[in-house]
Amino acid sequence: MSNFTFRNPVKIIFGKDTISQLSKNIPAGAKVLVTYGGGSIFKNGVYDQVVAALAGFEMIEFGGIEPNPTFETLMKAVELGRAEKIDFILSVGGGSVLDGTKFISAAIPFEGGNEWENIVLGKSRYKTATPFGAVLTLPATGSEMNSGGVISRKETHEKYGMGSPLLYPQFSILDPTTTYSLPKVQIANGLADAFTHVMEQYLTYPVNALIQDKFAEGVLKTLIEVAPKVMHDQTNYEDMSNFMWAATVALNGWISLGVPSDWATHQIGHELTALHGIDHARTLAVVLPHLMRYKMDNKKAKMIQYAKEVWALNGTDDELVEAAIQKTTEFYESLGIPTKASAYGIGEETVQEIKKRFTDRKVKYGEKSDIDAAATEAILRMSIA
Amino acid sequence: MSNFTFRNPVKIIFGKDTISQLSKNIPAGAKVLVTYGGGSIFKNGVYDQVVAALAGFEMIEFGGIEPNPTFETLMKAVELGRAEKIDFILSVGGGSVLDGTKFISAAIPFEGGNEWENIVLGKSRYKTATPFGAVLTLPATGSEMNSGGVISRKETHEKYGMGSPLLYPQFSILDPTTTYSLPKVQIANGLADAFTHVMEQYLTYPVNALIQDKFAEGVLKTLIEVAPKVMHDQTNYEDMSNFMWAATVALNGWISLGVPSDWATHQIGHELTALHGIDHARTLAVVLPHLMRYKMDNKKAKMIQYAKEVWALNGTDDELVEAAIQKTTEFYESLGIPTKASAYGIGEETVQEIKKRFTDRKVKYGEKSDIDAAATEAILRMSIA
């Protein structure tokens, strides 16, 4: 394995009835900006629990952060936070609210202007951020235990990842019972998202990192095991607990230490969301199986390992590589998630637009920096064929 | 799984040639107390690397911290640290030096006196500790990424665990090349120690914690896979890297979240070290197989899972339980570590002394609090039979 440095200071508070612990995890006397999304927290009782737990704190609210949170919306929260001189931000919701909150956290104390370029595109090495915590209501993105986020811009149909060591939540409260009323499509998306996060960090080339590989395989096997259960009954506490914790460790850094990462599927997927508004997780499902086929030669060793260790298959190398693609495709489809971009009406025009963007940006994604504009065109063509 | 709270803030710096990163991880201008053991760091080049990296810092040394670090020795370091008004402690060595350093860290600023009772036995809720970091030279105890330690007292032949959230290292540097010159017996002990740490947190009863179980199994399988390799050649970088990282994650909290833990093997083993000076890891090997047999009924489900998942065995439940004990015994023996206390000349007298201590202390160890004095007597009798 390669040299690595790792530090993840997030405090995880996991389990039933843990939202009540909010008050002892926010600095006494803090003026708190509570951020949330479309209002599901009013229906599932989470808002009431948060308000009860924050009795004694001055609380300001900012709702309406959308899935794929936009710079335009988030800047309104930044202005509110600055005007109200808030001390702490509490994200209540899923990964989109939390990703948006990370941007708000960085932007509120930032005095250099042009927050899109400086904070989202990372041109500034900002030195402070407003502290924040999270109540997570959707297992999916892993944002609750990492320091990254993904922000979209409506104006230009762009979507970019951002991050800083300053943007770890102070704490994240994960109560699996908050997920019981999620729409089924969000459960499916969460499973697909977490699964793909692991694949991005695992399905590259072997570097003899035994712990990292076995942990990654353990997360994949857990997701595969719980997926049909939580799709059938999302009110089983044990199953939802396993799903929720799997989604967190899928992207909290533990499985990626000293190993190569891919992330090309995410980069291509972000364009499909930016251009067509397709749910993030669903864009991953229309890219990864085709990227696996496109890179089947240089991902061969890991694809064989994946077929054997994760899916318990045997066969010739070629059979295992083919099975790896097939099983991955079937996993997404089992969640009701298509694996062809054509299922969303996407055609050659979008392929060419993304090719053009990647050509302009001179991108080279993937663990071997071999996913450029031409490779992306080839992968997307398979997805619309 | 049960509710849990988790936060592990240790910064891990892993890999070749990382000792040079010391200077940027210790506060500028700090007066540093460097703690070490019997002097192996002078032979393997680690001392020279540390001195070079600390150029620019005022440095005081305290050597001679023994395996199973004693209160008596450590209090001398505490007096030195107080007299010299040091700002930071750097532990250079294995788990014993680091455990000792944790005590020193807590004791230096402590003003309440009676450090044995207040800090080791935990009667005081001390509020500060001198910050410290580590250069680890021996994969074994996991102390590099947790907040606990074990301290012995020569005077009374006692050995106790201690800990506090204040006692996480600020950083730990893990350079696998520092282990190349370790005595073979220390490699063997390190493998046995790390293996047993996982068993203490895994071999209890099932609570359907999929991630935790799969991670624990992954660490065990990694140790089983690398053990013969590192015993044969401890200068293979990849193998030593896998061993070193496995030993860290075996006791950094990741595998124990929300699951029951046993730790009775350690408690009994500590007595064998305290009374007879047997290496810590070796005491575990003469307890665990017999404890497994003693508790084979109430550990049955996990023993079957262990036999299947870790050792890839099949058979009837009874066959798998028996195989679980047999494989565990063979693992220790493969390292040249005996699994009978009688191998060390221990007999009935020691059994009765430990029984008396546990009776006096009214102990109830284990995940079901069923390892009392009588149970301990029964387990140790099997080990001397």
* B222 belongs to a structural domain: yes
Q: Cβ of A241 and B1 within 8 Å?
A: yes
Q: What radius of gyration, in Å, describes the C-alpha atoms of chain B?
A: 20
Q: Is residue A5 part of a domain?
A: no
- How many other β-carbons are positioned within 10 Å of the β-carbon of residue B192? 27
Q: How far is A151 from chain B (nearest CA, A)?
A: 27
What is the structure's pLDDT at A174? 98
Q: What is the pLDDT of residues A22-36, one digit of tens each?
A: 999 999 999 999 999
Q: Both B140 and B193 in a single domain? A: no
pLDDT at A216: 98
A314 part of contact set with chain B, CB < 8 Å: no
Do both A210 and A330 map to the same domain? yes
Are residues B136 and B209 located together in one domain of the fold?
no
Q: Answer with the one of B178, B199, B230 that is the final residue of a domain.
A: B178
Is the CB of B1 less than 8 angstroms away from the CB of A214? no
Give which of A198, A202, A210 to mutate to test B binding, by max B Cβ within 10 Å.
Answer: A210
Whether B224 and chain A come into contact, CB under 8 Å, resolves to no
The verdict on residue A6 lying in a domain is: no
Q: Do A100 and A187 lie in a common domain?
A: no
- Report chain A's C-alpha Rg in angstroms: 20
With both helix axes pointing from N to C terminus, report the angle between A300-309 and A210-232 in degrees, rounded to the nearest 10. Answer: 50
Which backbone phi and psi does A192 adopt, to 5 degrees? -65, -40
Interface test with B, best of A3, A197, A198, A314 (most B CBs within 10 A): A3
Q: How many residues does chain A have?
A: 385
Quick: pLDDT tens for B336-382.
999 999 999 999 999 999 999 999 999 999 999 999 999 999 999 99
CB atoms near residue B309 (< 10 Å): 17
pLDDT value of position A273:
94
The crossing angle, in degrees rounded to 10, of helices B264-276 and B184-202 is 150
**Residue B277 pLDDT:** 93
The boundaries of the domain holding residue A252 are 183-384
Pick from B24, B145, B172, B215 the residue to mutate for testing the A interface (most A CBs within 10 Å). Answer: B215
pLDDT of residue A119: 97
Query: How far apart, in whole angstroms, are the C-alpha atoms of residue A262 and residue A251?
Result: 13
The answer to whether B11 contacts A2, with C-beta atoms less than 8 Å apart, is: no
- Mean pLDDT to the nearest integer, A251-277: 97
Whether B24 has its CB under 8 Å from any CB of chain A: the answer is no
Within this chain, do residues A304 and A351 fall inside the same structural domain, yes or no? Answer: yes
- Same domain membership, residue B217 and residue B142: no
Q: Which one of B175, B198, B210 would you mutate to disrupt binding with A, by most A Cβ within 10 Å of its Cβ?
A: B210
A222 touches chain B (CB under 8 A): yes
Q: How far apart are CA B225 and CA B191, in angstroms?
A: 11
Provide the CATH number for the domain around residue A22. Answer: 3.40.50.1970
pLDDT of amino acid B359: 98
Contacts of B308 in chain A (CB under 8 A): none
Asked whether the beta carbons of residue A222 and residue B211 sit closer than 8 angstroms, the reply is yes
CATH of the domain at B199: 1.20.1090.10
Distance from A302 to chain B by nearest Cα, in Å? 17
Q: Which of B146, B178, B210 is the last residue of a domain?
A: B178
pLDDT of residue A259: 98
Query: A201 with A349, same domain?
Result: yes
DSSP-derived 3-state class of residue A181: coil
Tell me if B3 is assigned to some domain: no
pLDDT tens-digit profile, chain B (385 residues): 999 999 999 999 999 999 999 999 999 999 999 999 998 999 999 999 999 999 999 999 999 999 999 999 999 999 999 999 999 999 999 999 999 999 999 999 999 999 999 999 999 999 999 999 999 999 999 999 999 999 999 999 999 999 999 999 999 999 999 999 999 999 999 999 999 999 999 999 999 999 999 999 999 999 999 999 999 999 999 999 999 999 999 999 999 999 999 999 999 999 999 999 999 999 999 999 999 999 999 999 999 999 999 999 999 999 999 999 999 999 999 999 999 999 999 999 999 999 999 999 999 999 999 999 999 999 999 999 9
Length of chain B (residues): 385
Is the CB of residue A178 less than 8 Å away from at least one CB of chain B?
no
**How distant is the Cα of B15 from the closest Cα of chain A, in angstroms?**
4
Tell me whether A9 touches chain B (CB under 8 Å): yes
**Amino acid present at B105:** S
CA of A223 vs chain B CAs: smallest distance (Å): 9
- Mean per-residue pLDDT, A41-54: 96
If you average pLDDT over residues A109-133, what whole number do you get?
A: 96
In a domain, A3, yes or no: no
Residue B329 lies in a domain: yes
Q: Are residues B270 and B297 in the same domain?
A: yes
Would B299 be classed as within a structural domain?
A: yes
Q: Predicted confidence band at A367 (pLDDT cuts at 50, 70, 90)?
A: very high
Domain boundary among A140, A162, A178: A178
Q: Helix and strand tally (H, E) in chain B? A: 15, 8
B154 shares a domain with B170: yes
Number of domains comprising chain A: 2
A308 interface with B at CB cutoff 8 Å = no
Pair A51, A158 in one domain: yes
Cβ neighbours around A336 below 10 Å, total: 13
* Per-residue pLDDT at A168: 98
Tens of pLDDT, residue by residue over B211-226, are 999 999 999 999 999 9
The mean per-residue pLDDT over the stretch A285-300 comes to 98
Joined tokens for residue A189 = 């998306």
* Predicted pLDDT at B376: 98
Same domain for A223 and A137: no
Pairwise CA distance, residues B211 & B83, whole Å: 48
What's the confidence (pLDDT) of residue B173? 98
One domain, residues B307 and B257: yes
- Which residue of chain B is at minimal alpha-carbon distance from A8? B9
Q: By three-state DSSP, how is residue A35 classified?
A: strand
Provide the CB-side half-sphere exposure for B289 (13 A, CA).
25
Please tell me the distance from the alpha carbon of residue A126 to that of residue A116, in angstroms, as a whole number. 13
Which residues in chain B are closer than 8 Å to A2, comparing Cβ atoms?
A: 15
Phi-psi domain of A295 (left: phi exceeds 0; alpha: psi -120 through 50; beta: other):
alpha
Are B215 and A218 an interchain contact pair (Cβ–Cβ within 8 Å)? yes
A350 belongs to a structural domain:
yes
